[in-house]
Structure 1
C-alpha cells in the first residue's frame, strides 16, 4: 500500500526517538512508544454474547512491533461484513461500559461502500495519530475502532470525557489535519450515550470538515 502523508511524517518523527536501552546485547534496539496498545477483533455472531465474539489479537509498545502487528493482520478492506478492529490503550476494554470510556464520546468518519479503497489509508492514519501521540490532549484518547458494515464502514476515535470541549475539539482538528482523504469528509463527535437507540437521532456535539 502506498504510504500516506501521515505515515511518512510519523516515520520521519521517529528517526530520532529514544531507543529501548533494555534490549539484550546483540539484539536490535527498538523505538519505544509512550503507551502500550492492544489490538482487538470482533466477528459478529447473533448467536453469541459480546464477550464471546471479542478477542485480543495482540499488544505492542514499540514502533517496530506495531508494524509487525499491522502487516500480520488483514487490512479493514479485507474484513468480512460485520467485523470490527479496535486499538485501545492497554488496560482499556473496547466497550462503552469500561470505566475510562463510560463518560466519553467519539469522533467518527463514515466511509461509503463506493469509497472503500480509502478505508485502509484512513485507518492507518488514525492508528499513527494515536500511537505517535500526535494530539496535545492524547491523554484523553482511549482508542479507535473500524467497523465494517454492508453499505458503510465507520472509523472512530474514542475519548474519555464528552464534556471536555477543548480536548475533544483539538483531537478532532488534529484528525482533520493528519488523516488523508481523497475528498472532503465530515467527521462528527457524539457522546457514547447519544448512540443509544432512543437517542441516536440527536444532533452531534461537533461537526468538522476534513479537507483532501
Structure 2
C-alpha cells in the first residue's frame, strides 16, 4: 500500500468507525465511562489562529464505552499511531469532559516527545500509547484527577500527553500521578518527560515552553535523573484481546503537524 493510500485509509478509519460502542453494560464494567475523540488540522491553516469554539467544532466524538468489551470493540477499529493520517490527534477522556485547555483551566499535562527517525515514527510511539490508554481505562493511576490522554503527530516529532484536572488544590496528587507515570511507561528509554500548566498553554497557544518533569527514563522504567515525589502506583488487570503493535513494520508515514487548542488556538507551532 502506498503512503497516500495508507494515510487515506487511516483517516477514514479514524473519522468513521465501523460502529459506535454499544450501550450494553452486561460486560465487565469500568469504574467510569470514557470517550474517544478525533481531530485533524484544518487544511491550509498551518499558521492560523482559531478560537476555542472553532476547535470545538472540529472535534469528532468517535464513541463512548463503559465496559471492557465496549472498549476493545471501539479501539480495535481505530488506527494505531504508526498508521495515523498526517496532522491528526486521538484523545481518550473521561466521559463528560472535552479535550480542551479551557475545560481544565487549573490543570496541566505531562508531555512526552518522540523524535522522528528519518521521517518515520519512533518504534516506541504506539507501544507507549497503548500502555497509557490501557492504564487510564483500567484505572492503573488510581486517581480521578487524571482526566485523559492524547497522541498527536507532527513534522519532526510525535507527542503523547497525559492531562490532570486541577493543580490549585491537588499539587501532591500531581506529584503522585507523575511518579505513577514513570512506573507505567516501560518503553521510554532515555526519554524526557515535560510538564506544562494549561493556563500557560492558553496564553502562548502552544505546547512549547514546558518545564522538565524528569530528565530521562531508563529502559527498566527507573529515572536517569531525579523526579518528583515517591509514589508507588500499581495498575489493575486488563481483559479482552490485546492487539499487537508493529511500529517497525508500519513506520512509513511522512510529515505530521500538531493540533493544539486555546481561547485562540494556533494550529501549528
What's 2:184 paired with?
178
Report 1:24-173 matches (<5 A): 29-45=26-42, 46=45, 49-98=54-103, 101-114=104-117, 116-136=122-142, 138-163=143-168, 164-173=170-179
Q: From the two aligned structures, give the one with the greater helix fraction.
A: 1
Return 5+ residue gaps in structure 1 as ranges: 1-21, 24-28
Query: How many residues were matched structurally?
Result: 183
Task: Normalising by structure 1, report the TM-score.
Answer: 0.78
Q: Secondary structure at the match of 2:144?
A: helix
Q: Is residue 35–residue 94 contact of structure 2 (8 Å, CA) maintained in 1?
A: yes
1:9-50 CA distances to partner (integer Å, 9 max, x unpaired)?
xxxxxxxxxxxxx96xxxxx4111001000000011038831
Q: 2: CA distance between counterparts of 1:187 and 1:200?
A: 13
> Highest relative contact order (Cα 8 Å, sep 6+), 1 or 2?
2
What's 2:228 paired with?
none
What's 1:3 paired with?
none
Q: Is residue 33–residue 64 contact of structure 2 (8 Å, CA) maintained in 1?
A: yes
Q: Rate the CA distance shift 1:189–1:203 in 2: closer, same or farther, 3 A.
A: closer
Q: Is residue 40–residue 58 contact of structure 2 (8 Å, CA) maintained in 1?
A: yes
CA RMSD of aligned residues (A): 2.3
Return 5+ residue gaps in structure 2 as ranges: 1-23, 220-269
Q: 2: CA distance between counterparts of 1:203 and 1:128?
A: 26
Question: How far is the alpha carbon of 1:97 from its aligned partner?
Answer: 1.0
Question: How far is the alpha carbon of 1:206 from its aligned partner?
Answer: 3.1
1:83-102 CA distances to partner (integer Å, 9 max, x unpaired)?
0001101110110112xx12
Q: 2: CA distance between counterparts of 1:198 and 1:44?
A: 15
Question: How far is the alpha carbon of 1:198 from its aligned partner?
Answer: 7.9
Q: 1: CA distance between counterparts of 2:149 and 2:116?
A: 20
Q: Is residue 176–residue 208 contact of structure 1 (8 Å, CA) maintained in 2?
A: no
Q: Secondary structure at the match of 1:143?
A: strand
Q: Rate the CA distance shift 1:187–1:74 in 2: closer, same or farther, 3 A.
A: same
Q: Rate the CA distance shift 1:59–1:134 in 2: closer, same or farther, 3 A.
A: same
Q: 2: CA distance between counterparts of 1:82 and 1:182?
A: 23
Task: Normalising by structure 2, report the TM-score.
Answer: 0.62
1:99-154 CA distances to partner (integer Å, 9 max, x unpaired)?
xx121000111111125221111111111111111124x11111111111011011
Q: 1: CA distance between counterparts of 2:125 and 2:98?
A: 24
